[in-house]
Amino acid sequence: MANPMNPFQVFLAPIGRSTLSLLAAIGRIAIYMAETLSHIVRPPFYFREFLHQLMVIGYFSLPVVGLTAVFTGAALALQIFEGGSRFNAESVVPSIVAIGMVRELGPVLGGLMVAGRVASSVAAELGTMRVTEQIDALVTLSTHPMKYLTVPRVLAATLAMPVLVAVGDSIGIFGGFLVGTSRLGLNPAAYLHNTVDFLNSWDVVSGLIKASVFGFIVALMGCYHGMNSGRGAQGVGRATTNAVVSASVLILTTNYLMTEAFFSS
């Protein structure tokens, strides 16, 4: 006869179950990531699919990233001006807007917006393909789903995100410039001068590296949850939610870790 659990064990049991479940999920995602990386370097490579995904993930995400960036840059300029005016440091607006956008806000907000747009659509698309046996059909047509579906999406997102974020950074800085010069009365030439003077190449490169990692995470999470979607509409819905949530959490976590690695010294 099994020993009944004491109250302390009853309290610990669900925590233990959740921890084991979390570790198992991390393990499955790690294996999926390793498989994806191994398929990237092995032929065949579906170049047309890759180009198609570059368009879908990269080009069509431009409006949402651009809009996010322009309003973020504009709000940042207002905040820094108001904060800086408390100790007569209004002139730091251009440099802090530029550094803030390029190092942190551009990649992170761009990544989160793309996570909302791309991870959800990839998970929903692949989840529906799983439920309607289209992924099984691919296998019977001698086409590896990982190579045909996952690799082009992951590669496209990894390469497109830095470009998207570079464009977003420029638009964000321009948003700050517009507010700074039209609303806050800063001199346009001095604004541009301060922006360029205070930015160094590592600020830009580190932001683009972050963007690339975030692109990889977004597509990987979309594909992983889509490919492992449960049955029916509820299964696809859950896969879509999980893809966005896990991509967002991983973006914020890896952002902190990369910031530590890049700038803590």
Partner 1 sequence: MTEPMIQFRDLHKSFGSNHVLRGIDLSVNKGESMVIIGGSGTGKSVLIKMVLGLLKPTSGTILVDDKDSKAGDRDAFLARFGMLFQGGALFDSMPVWQNVAFRLLRGALKRPKEEARAIAVEKLRRVGLKEWVADLYPAELSGGMQKRVGLARAIAADPEIIFFDEPTTGLDPIMAGVINKLVREIVTEMGATAMTITHDMSSVRAIADHVAMIHDGKVRWTGPIAQLDDSGDPYLDQFIHARAEGPIEAIR
Per-residue burial over 110-133, b = 16 or more CB atoms within 10 Å of its CB, e = otherwise = bbbbbbbbbbbbbbbbbbbbbbee
Sign of CA pseudo-dihedral 93, 97, 99, 105: positive
Q: Indicate the residue among 5 and 137 with the shorter CB distance to partner 1.
A: 137
Q: Does 232 bind partner 1 (CB under 8 A)?
A: no
Q: Which is nearer to partner 1, 200 or 234 (CB)?
A: 234
| Closer by beta carbon to partner 1, 3 or else 140 | 140
CB of 71 to partner 1, least distance (A): 33
Interatomic CA distance for residues 73 and 255, integer angstroms: 19
Burial class from Cβ neighbours inside 10 Å (0-12, 13-18, 19+) for residue 184 reads: middle
Q: How many helices and strands in the chain, by DSSP H and E?
A: 12, 0
From residue 41 to residue 70, the character string flagging contacts with partner 1 as x (rule: CB under 8 A) and all else as - is ---x-x------------------------
Interacting residues with partner 1 between 132 and 151 (CB under 8 A) = 132-134, 136-137, 139-143
Compare residues 89 and 137 and give the one whose CB is closer to partner 1.
137
Which residues are near partner 1 by CB under 8 A? 44, 46, 129, 132-134, 136-137, 139-143
